[in-house]
Structure 1
């Protein structure tokens, strides 16, 4: 795949706007919650950063995915939670403050963990001449593309809170449109591979999605977190930032491999349906407990 000008300029711009929208919704107080309420945050991060990559690795092996598709699924597993998880958690009566904190903290940690996990995946699934490592220069590029707009958004919110509040909704709408365009672009760039591998990748993506939500819900409950916190963590690690994974896979400056974007593209279509069904289920089964535990969100 050659350096397509559309990918060179559109993907960083799209990712920048998406991350700017995240920054507009964050403040330093969101990070302060880590110190104030460490247990649920640490449990959520442990599920996201440790359990999910391991589970994803075994699923990629179980489904016998082609090397590039296996790396793409691992790239998705290494991606932080998507900001849409906040909305789904709110609709399902989860702890939205916990979602915001996990999204913020994990987005920062992922800058270090994503290159590590992707490099290990490339080394395991692909031969040395096929691998396209995320070298230090690439890590710096990811850092600038991802954290730069987040920092700008947070600064705008701190200096111009009214403007930031007004801009959150239009930026979210634009971000959703960019997500759709990026998914379509990912499919169009490698349509033949998408058609050939969609059945296998679809099964692996669905299995990974269901396992992610199950881990996010069951582990916190076993560790005595309340229901609202378990819902929040399930949404957070079940709704991955597919946009980020697709952008990194497609970008000529980074992995430059459209096949690696296919698992994230398919997962991004699946996760919104399963998250909605999970929200309906948990409220139907545990509605009384949620009403009893309901407290004003921070």
Structure 2
């Protein structure tokens, strides 16, 4: 298959379908909630759009990451939350409504913030490639691949709710399948870089995942949010849209090596939530035993 067809048509179309599926799960209440619970939303957005990129930048310098891994980590940190954060929030019995609202808000804002963060990363770690990077082109690409499909999905959810409710689980499963297929393809194509830099990329992804979850938790606690909302912010800040990060690297930047970080993170991002959920369950059991 022609590489340009894969990178310019198939991958963007697949992500657009995923974002369409996200839109099918959104209702008008998810947007009115932005005004009903502004503190939790604002704090979550600060964690996602400000704290996480700063954490990623610090890790790049602290771990002295190779250029492809460093830029990949920054791309990942610049991406909004995805459907996986909503799934994990549901499994963790967090505030699913807040999680969905945060995902919707961060996705909308990311068409502006993501290109600027990526542009900064390129200027810092790959100035030779920075001249070929266009903030405007990336913003327009994100708009048509993310916001437009989401808007169509929301429209269908409003006017064809029965269809939307039945179809939404299919797109959620497709999202996971697509991410796993992309990871498998990256392992094959970029195996030399993955082997030579595995320790760097693996520990960077683990540090970003766990570190950003801790940051999300601390932001929530400093804002005096309750336990459920704190858990939600921790998950939402800690889990990014790995599929979007992979697509940006391959289709927008034409740099598959930058996608390796997103691929590894797509698997490693569940470690932090599992540790957090396990720790909370252990704490609840100890509390229950102390009461009894």
TM-score > 0.5 by shorter chain: yes
Q: From 257, 261, 271, give the equivalent of 2:259.
A: 261
Shift of 1:10: 1.8
Is the contact between residue 183 and residue 263 of structure 2 (CA under 8 Å) also seen in structure 1?
yes
- 2:269 is paired with a residue whose SS is helix
**Structure with more of its chain in helix, by fraction:** 2
Conserved in 1, the CA contact under 8 Å of 2:83 and 2:172? no
How many angstroms apart in 1 are the aligned matches of 2:14 and 2:211? Answer: 29
Contact 2:205 2:269 in 1 (8 A): no
CA distance in 2, matches of 1:259, 1:38: 39
**What's the TM-score, normalizing by structure 2?**
0.93
Matched residue, 1:294: none
Residue 229 of structure 1 aligns with which residue?
229
Contact 2:78-2:110 within 8 A present in 1 as well: yes
Aligned ranges 1:266-281 → 2 under 5 Å: 266-281=264-279
Matched ranges for 1:83-94 at <5 A: 83-94=83-94
Other structure's SS at 1:164 match? helix
Deviation per CA, 1:90-138, whole angstroms, max 9, x where unpaired?
Answer: 2222111110110000000011000000001101111235654133133
What does 1:179-258 correspond to in 2, within 5 Å?
179-251=179-251, 254-258=252-256
Q: Tell me the distance in 2 between the aligned counterparts of 1:74 and 1:134.
A: 16
- Once the two structures are TM-superposed, the CA of residue 9 in structure 1 deviates from its matched residue by 2.1
CA distance in 2, matches of 1:289, 1:98: 26
Could you say which residue in structure 1 is the equivalent of 2:45? Answer: 45
Mapped partners of 1:102, 1:135: distance in 2: 24
Q: Note closer, same or farther for the CA distance 1:134–1:287 as it changes in structure 2 (3 Å cut).
A: farther
Q: 1:288 to 1:103 in 2, by over 3 A?
A: farther
Contact 1:186 1:246 in 2 (8 A): no
Please give the residue correspondences for 1:151-166 in structure 2 after superposition, counting only pairs within 5 Å.
Answer: 151-166=151-166
How far apart, in 2, do the equivalents of 1:31 and 1:78 lie? 22
Name the SS for the 1:80 alignment partner: coil
TM value normalised by structure 1: 0.91
Q: Work out the number of aligned pairs and report it.
A: 287
Find the counterpart in structure 1 of residue 34 from structure 2.
34
SS across alignment from 1:128? helix
Superimposed CA distance per residue, residues 56-115 of structure 1 (whole angstroms, 9 cap, x where no aligned partner)? 101011111112221110010011112111221122221111101100000000110000
| Change over 3 Å in CA distance of 1:264–1:163 after alignment to 2 | same
Deviation at 1:221, TM superposition (A): 1.3
Q: Please report how far the alpha carbon of residue 225 of structure 1 lies from its aligned counterpart in structure 2 after TM superposition.
A: 0.5
User: Any gaps of 5 or more consecutive residues in structure 1?
Assistant: 291-298
Cα shift at 1:5: 2.4
Q: What residue is the counterpart of 2:282 in the other structure?
A: 284
Q: Could you say which residue in structure 1 is the equivalent of 2:114? A: 114
8 Å CA contact 2:74–2:117 kept in 1: the answer is yes
* Partner in structure 2 of residue 295 of structure 1: none
Ranges in structure 2 where 5+ consecutive residues have no aligned partner: none
Indicate the RMSD between aligned Cα atoms, in angstroms.
Answer: 1.8
Cα distance in 2 for residues equivalent to 1:131 and 1:183: 28
Distance in 1 of aligned mates of 2:130 and 2:166? 46
Query: What residue is the counterpart of 2:137 in the other structure?
Result: 137
